[in-house]
Amino acid sequence: MAALVHNQDTTNLGQGQAHAPVWRYSRRGILVLDRPRVIGILNVTPDSFSDGGQHLSVREAFRAADQMVSEGADMLDLGGESTRPGAHRVSADEQIRRVVPVLEAIRKAPGPLSGIPISIDTTRSAVARAGLNAGADAINDVSAGTEDPELISLAAEFGAGLVLMHRVHAPPIDQYSDHYQSPPIAGTALGAVAAFLAERSNAAIAAGVHRESLVLDPGLGFGKTVEQNLELVRGTGELLKLGFPLLSAASRKSFVGRVSLGRDSQPHERLLGSIAFSITHFAFGIRLFRVHDVAAHLQALRAAAAILKSNP
């Protein structure tokens, strides 16, 4: 696991860190973004588009978490509700039933696993609160606080890290990127996404979330055509001008298969294309990567960092 900064007063962190940006993922620590940092995806759902049904028991989820940490993950992202296009909504109580026992098991584990930073992937404040109380550090909200405004206030209350993502539609009415017949975003996707993320980050800061606690996610694959996703990748530099770290989250998504394989594909076929998007994002300035395949992405990103003379 990459070195993190834990258990200290983080009031002035970000100053004196060799000018590297940081993500204050909780009151207990920060992630210094001086190199590629990989967040392992852990969905305890029956219907997620790639790993649905693989981690339904606490034992299976724990084993997957342990493997990702042993492979070098800097963080885990734990979700109890699928956000794939067409997914049915899951109640807050059911999400809590799925994620809290896994959190508790990880926090009781011996060795490095117990201390791994964990984000809760949810749009519901009740789920986020239960997760934070059980030992999670951050909240990953694909609705950027638009579905449940209390979630942003909750992040401020706990001093939690907060990922704000752009999406066009909620999962039940969304489509896969390569299924859209017309662009779901009129005009340039880059301008619309940048404006939305600027507004939501301002709202979070106004609610008391520390600036260094925020990460922005352009929402690749969420209500964008294949070409609009590519436009957002090409526009990474413009999105970074908003002044916050960005999250790269292209892993195994349908548009990746469409451009890398040129056809309909299954998630497990999209590893090489996913790595290509991650390396491109790294070259454009992103340092946070949410992925399914931790070891493969870390190897590729470390090589890219060495070539680009970053700090591998």
In a domain, 11, yes or no: no
Maximum pairwise Cα distance, the chain: 52
Q: Is residue 110 part of a domain?
A: yes
Q: What pLDDT band is residue 28 in, cutting at 50, 70 and 90?
A: confident
pLDDT band, very low/low/confident/very high, at 3 (cuts 50, 70, 90): very low
| 17 falls within a domain | no
- Catalytic one among 37, 200, 252, 253? 253
For 163-172, write each residue's pLDDT tens digit. Answer: 999 998 777 6
Report the pLDDT averaged over residues 294-312.
88
Query: Considering the domain boundaries, does residue 97 fall inside one?
Result: yes
Structure tokens at 124: 């519901």
Element (H, E) at 41: strand 37-43
Lowest mean pLDDT among 169-173, 238-242, 252-256, 267-271: 169-173
Whether 104 is in a domain gets the answer yes
**Mind listing the pLDDT tens digit for each residue in 85-119?**
777 889 999 999 999 999 999 999 988 899 999 99
116 lies in some domain: yes
**CB contact burial 101-139 (16+ within 10 A = b; e otherwise):** bbbebbeebeeebebbbbbbbbbbbbbbbbbbebebbbb
Could you tell me if 108 and 76 are in contact, meaning their C-beta atoms sit under 8 angstroms apart?
Answer: no
**What is the C-alpha separation between 210 and 36, in angstroms, rounded?**
23
Summarize the confidence of residues 264-287 as an average pLDDT. Answer: 96
What value does the mean pLDDT take over residues 213-230? 95
For residue 43, which phi and psi values (nearest 5 degrees)?
A: -100, 120
Q: Residue 53: pLDDT band by 50, 70, 90 thresholds?
A: low
Pair of tokens at residue 294: 């931790």
In the set 200, 224, 252, 290, the catalytic residue is 290
- What is the domain-level CATH number for residue 221? 3.20.20.20
Q: Which residue has the tokens 């790294």?
A: 282
Its sign, for the CA torsion 171, 158, 21, 145, is positive
Is the model's pLDDT at 14 over the cut of 60?
Answer: no
Q: Are 136 and 121 in contact (CB under 8 A)?
A: no
Asked whether residue 61 is domain-assigned, the answer is yes
Catalytic-residue membership of 108 = no
**H-type helices in the chain, by residue range?**
58-70, 92-107, 125-133, 150-158, 189-206, 226-234, 236-240, 254-261, 271-283, 294-307
Given a cut of 60, whether residue 215 has pLDDT beyond it is yes
The number of distinct structural domains making up the chain is 1
Which helix (H) or strand (E) is 23 found in, with range? strand 22-26
Question: What is the arithmetic mean of pLDDT over 8-29?
Answer: 64
Give me the domain span that covers residue 54.
Answer: 38-307
Residue 311 has pLDDT above 60, yes or no: no
- CA 233/CA 30 separation, integer angstroms: 26
Q: Would you call 290 a catalytic residue per the annotation?
A: yes
pLDDT attached to residue 46: 75
- State residue 50's pLDDT score: 53
* Entry pTM: 0.89
> Where is average pLDDT lowest: 143-157, 180-194, 254-268?
180-194
Least confident of 17-21, 26-30, 105-109, 262-266: 17-21
Residue at 21 is within a domain: no
